[in-house]
Chain A
């Protein structure tokens, strides 16, 4: 199993450009998550999905959009990039079937710079 894969690893965007960060997992996990991590800070949840076709906002959703058409893929869309979106983005997945928060498996991250 490859686990959670993310592309690209690095990207530089100009202000106002758009892009999609790709995330794929091959563990048949029902839950998927997108986080951002600013330098020296903890992770902040952007969006999450509890299954195909179902997404919901996390702590910092403004400026982002997501979709979940399949169990495996959970792309994150940035529209009209702003310098405040410069960060490292992590995708994660987990298998959750009851009230316990099962462990999350994280991807390697995408380092995004907006200038």
Chain B
């Protein structure tokens, strides 16, 4: 199973760009990289998913280098409402490979 390593916590300020890096050294050829966001007392919410290079949607960008051993979630111009836990998952459609890990607790200050 592809284990992931993320920083336990990060702090930033409103209006800044935040980059959260996830390490996944033993990622498999068929594995995708998926990021979820979780607010307190809620279930996780899908943010973005990618396989290689760069993916961008309306809320975030995902950067994946050629060796795919790490990935970086980029949140542009964060606000207080981006304070949450962010999880990096690595896997394919095989549900048995799902591992959420402990996530990164992001705190945004005014």
Whether the Cβ atoms of B98 and A33 lie closer than 8 Å is yes
Mark each residue of chain A from 2 to 20: 1 if its CB lies under 8 Å from any CB of chain B, else 0. 0010000000000000000
Tell whether, in the assembled complex, residue B43 and residue A106 are in contact, meaning their CB atoms are under 8 Å apart: yes
Contact A101/B43 with A33-B98, A42-B87, A45-B98 known, Cβ cut-off 8 Å: no
Q: Scan residues 94-112 of chain A and give those whose CB is less than 8 A from a CB of chain B.
A: 96, 98-109
Taking each of B45, B49, B95, which has the highest tally of chain A beta carbons within 10 Å of its own beta carbon?
Answer: B95
Residues of chain A within 8 A (CB-CB) of B95 are 31, 33, 45, 48, 50, 56, 58
- Using known A-B contacts A42-B103, A43-B44, determine if residue A48 contacts B96 with beta carbons closer than 8 Å: yes
Main SS class of interface, B: loop
Using known A-B contacts A41-B102, A59-B99, determine if residue A102 contacts B93 with beta carbons closer than 8 Å: yes
Asked whether, in the complex, the Cβ of A109 is within 8 Å of the Cβ of B41, the reply is yes
Please report the total number of B residues contacting A with Cβ < 8 Å: 25
The chain B residue sitting closest to A48, CB to CB, is B95
Q: CB-defined interface of A48-91 with B at 8 Å, one 1/0 digit per residue?
A: 10100000111100000000000000000000000000000010
Contacting residues, chain B, for A21 (C-beta < 8 A): none
How far is B89's CA from A59's CA once the two chains are assembled, in angstroms? 15
Q: Name A's B-contacting residues (CB within 8 A).
A: 4, 31, 33, 35, 41-45, 48, 50, 56-59, 90, 92, 96, 98-109
